[in-house]
Amino acid sequence: MSTLGPTSVIFDLDGTLVDSEPNYYEAGRQVLAQYGVPDYTWADHERYVGISTLETVGIWKREYGLAASVEEVFEAKNRRYLELARVSTRAYPEMRKFVELLATEDVPMAVASGSSPEAIEAILAGTGLDAFLPTVVSADEVERGKPAPDVFLEAARRLGATPADCVVLEDAAPGAAAAHAAGMRCIAIPYVTAQADAPEFATASLLLRGGQEEFTARDAYDWLARSAP
C-alpha cells in the first residue's frame, strides 16, 4: 500500500490531464462546416466541455437540424479528432509531474473519460502517459456518461478500490457531479474558469478556481496526504 493509505486516484482526461479541448473544438468546427453549419465558435464549444462526444453530436443534430445520422456525424468527428490528437495533444506539465509522483508512491491510478477508447489510447500513447495509466475506462463502455457516476464506479471496480477511497480530478461540472454521485472526493480544476461558481463544483472537496494555472503537483499531493482516509 502507498504512503497515502488506501487512496486511489482517478483522472478525467480531456482538459484535466491534457489540453485536448482545442482539438475537439477544431474537429467539431470542421465537421459541422462539412454538414452545413459554418459559424461554430469556441463559445459554442464551451457548452459541451465535460460531456461525451456521442451526447454532443446528439445535441448538435437536434439544435442544428442536421440531416445526417448521429452515427455518421459521430464517426466523422472522431476520425478528424484522432487525426489532430495524434500529432498535437499537450499534457499539462504539472499534471504529468503529479502522475509521476503518484507512480513513485505506488498509488493506484486510472483514467475515466467521456472520450472513445480509441481517442484515449491515442492521447495517452502520444503523451507517454500510458506508461503510468494502464487502467482506462471510456464512457462508451458503460451505460451512462457523466454526470452519471458510471465511468468512475467502473474505474474503481477495475482498481479494486472502494469509492470512498477514490479521489477524482476533474475540469468540468458534469464530471464533478459524477464524482459526487459516485461517493468520491473530487479535486476540481475548472477548464472554463468562468464556470467555477457552477453548483456542481460546490460539491468538490477541493476547488481550484484558477484552473490549471493554480494546480501544482506538490500541493495536490500534500492535500491527498492530509485528507487520506
Q: Catalytic amino acids?
A: 12
CB 18 within 8 A of CB 89: yes
Run of H or E residues at 139: none
Cβ burial 204-221 (10 Å sphere, 16+ → b, else e):
bebbbeebbeebbbeebb
Quote the cell numbers at residue 104. 513513485
Give the residues across from 168 on adjacent strands.
10, 186
Can you list the positions of beta strands (E) in 54-188? Answer: 109-113, 136-138, 166-170, 185-188
Between helix 70-88 and helix 53-64 the angle, nearest 10°, is: 130
CA dihedral 190, 191, 194, 195 (to 10 degrees): -50
155 φ/ψ sector (left φ>0, alpha ψ -120 to 50, else beta): alpha
CB atoms within 10 A of CB 185: 23
CA distance 26 to 109: 30
User: Is residue 158 helix, strand or coil?
Assistant: helix
